[in-house]
Amino acid sequence: MVRRGGARSRGALRGKVALVTGGASGIGRATAALFAQEGARVAIFDRDGRSGRRVAAEILAAGGEAVFLQGDVTKALHCRRAVQRTVARFGRLDILFNNAGIIRRAAVPDTTEAEWDRTMATNVKSVFLLSKYAIPVMVRSGGGVIVNTASGWGLAGGARAAAYCASKGAVVNLTRAMAVDHGPEHIRVNCVCPGDTDTPMLRGEARQLGTPVGTFLAESARRPLGRLARPEEVARAVLSLASDASSFVTGAALIVDGGALAGSP
């Protein structure tokens, strides 16, 4: 397997099969591409058919193996089918990256019940559903790895993001609970907690808040490293948790935020 630009991959995931939710853009897209570069066969699960098929095509064009599965991560039937189709296509499932997520920037009084329910369903229920169907498959093959996307705001509160903070806090503790339950079955469960990352979702936050995108991104970059994360940088953290480099790591929340939670520069 060769990376774009000619650099040879290390093959850290050679022989593995990975299912990536929210893989049509942002961190999910970067992670799906990196997993493929490292030798994994990748199933991309997303609602966005056009973008999802494009990501799968890019992986195939680069010499990797990928399939796109269109569906809604909040629906049990779609999640069960995504796992079943991944196994039918590739024969197994070793890695589940629960990455799909949304954000609603509002305080509690300004958040509608429908917005609350949609945020919790997309960010938390999806982790439950995909894991529910993936874990028995992993157990039958002797183990596996689950990585969930939480957030720095799953460990500390943030302004005008009540539903999002609640959902990501739930992901952090659900990660810990699953690590306890499934460690004896040789399934490691960890979460990555990104800070502000230059993705379409981050730019969407600016629009929700009515702030010029340039101003919002500049304010978001105020952290010790003085910049936003790139999706590829978060993807490398996910790769570490998914690979044997983290073979004795489970129940962990890996912060990837340029020092934001450590304090202001």
* Residues designated catalytic: 164
CA distances from 249 to 10, 61, 165, 190 (A): 20, 34, 25, 8
Is the alpha carbon torsion for 180, 164, 128, 186 positive or negative? Answer: negative
Give the whole-angstrom CA distance, residue 65 versus residue 242: 18
Phi-psi region of 251 (alpha: psi -120 to 50; beta: other; left: phi over 0): left
Cα angle: 46, vertex 47, 52; to 5 degrees = 55
> What is the distance between the alpha carbons of residues 129 and 107, in angstroms, rounded to a whole number?
27
**Alpha carbons 72 and 181: distance in angstroms, whole number:** 26
Residue 11 amino acid letter: G
